[in-house]
Structures are given as structure tokens and as C-alpha cells.
Structure 1
């Protein structure tokens, strides 16, 4: 019986390795910029994305041209599905205005951005140890003893 047991273990191990293990997607939120002009465009995009496997919710904000998809999806697949409707789509390129250190930098300011948003860019991030940060920390409202001028 020892030979049959070892043979059955060998065969069962072979079949376990041969099966492809599916990589599970992580629950995430994907924000996409899509130019939508009418109710028909909005409905087409919403129906196309909501029919994907793993999608839990779809929110469309036509005013700022933003589609928010939550679920077990990949961003590239969401973009491809939206582009199949005939609409141009890109990952949401904007961040809130107050999250950027230099909102009027060349790469950050965008006239087409919705109100309260600026374009996400590397130039809008402050350099560590920048002189602006040192000057601003001298006059802190949080710490009244920080003012070195008075």
C-alpha cells in the first residue's frame, strides 16, 4: 500500500500545480475623465461599465466629466470598456486644489480643470527642505512661540 499511496500523492500534486490559480482583484475605486454632453452619453457609459464583472457601484457626474467605478476591477479594463462606447477616456488627472503645494505651477494649473481641482504633476510638489517651508514655519499660528522676528 505504500507504493500506491505515494503514487496517488504524486498524481494529486501534479494536478494541483497544473491548475492555474486566478489572481484576485482588490476592491478599489477608479476615477475616469470622460467627456459627456447629454443624457444618452451618460447612460451609455454607465450601462457599459455597470455590466462589467466585479463592479459594485458606478457614479457619473456629467458636470465635471467624471465617472467613479467601485468594485473588484482593473483600471485598464474600465478604460477599454468606456472607449468601446466611442468616448475618449483617461484616468482622472486632477487632485483637489488644497492638496498641492504650488497650484499655479506650469504643469499643475489647467483651465479645463473643474472648480476646486488642479492637474496632478511632479512640479507642483515641494522639494524637501525648500526655503518656502522654512519661512512659513517661522510664522506659525499653531505655535505662538515660533515667531522669531518679534
Structure 2
């Protein structure tokens, strides 16, 4: 966590009253698989996710179709925001349903 994130976290702890305990979002990393074909797609996704409250960074690897978002965020909200761009988005790691491997076949 950078100095800015640490200072913000400490500031929020100091300013929050003990009487009104609110569920605090934890600092976390959310990885998504997002279909992006061009620079415009990438920029649209990056701008949308960067606008979410609590987001500290958005990194995109278009070759892998992978988006990494870090901050005081909720996975469900990040996914919803990514989908709001009109792009196909899902939680990483992406495992195709018809991948050919099955846990059940090894048991039988």
C-alpha cells in the first residue's frame, strides 16, 4: 500500500466515530476478464472503473483480456461497472465451462 493509501486509511479511521460503526471496505485486488478489441475499448473500461469510489489503480493487459483493479472496493460493484460499458466481463480466473477437464471423472 502506498503512502497516499495509508494516509487515507488512517484519516478514515480517525474521522469515523465509534458509535456508528459502518462496514469498512477492505483494500483488495479484483481481477476481471473483459473483452477488449482496441484502444478505444481499453480506454472506455479504464475510465469507467477508475470512476468507482475507492479505486486506487486500474491495470489492463489487453493481450490477456485481463483487468486488475485495486482499492477499497467490492468485487460485485467492480464487475457491474465493467459490464456497464457494454463489454463482456467476468471474474478472473476465467475457466471455460467446456474446458474438457472434470473433477468428477477422476473420482469414478
- The CA deviation at 1:22 is 1.9
Q: TM-score, normalised by structure 2?
A: 0.70
* Cα RMSD for the two superposed structures: 2.3
1:106 and 2:101 aligned: yes
What is the CA deviation profile of residues 86-129 of structure 1, one whole-angstrom value per residue up to 9, with x for unaligned ones?
0111000249xxxxxxxx9614xxxxxxxxxxxxxxx2xx99xx
- Who is 1:36 aligned against? 36
State the SS of the aligned residue for 2:37.
Answer: coil
Where do residues 1-150 of structure 1 align in structure 2 (5 Å cutoff)? 21-94=21-94, 106-107=101-102, 123=103
In 2, the alpha carbon distance for the partners of 1:91 and 1:77 equals: 12
Q: Is the 8 A contact 2:33 2:94 kept in 1?
A: no
- The CA deviation at 1:39 is 0.3
Segments of 4+ in structure 1 off by > 2 A? none
- Which runs of 5 or more residues in structure 2 are unaligned? 1-17
- Matched pairs, number: 86
- Which runs of 5 or more residues in structure 1 are unaligned? 1-15, 96-103, 108-122, 128-150
In our comparison, the structure showing a higher alpha carbon Rg is 1
In 1, the alpha carbon distance for the partners of 2:101 and 2:89 equals: 23
In 1, the alpha carbon distance for the partners of 2:52 and 2:81 equals: 8
- The CA deviation at 1:81 is 0.4
Q: TM-score, normalised by structure 1?
A: 0.51
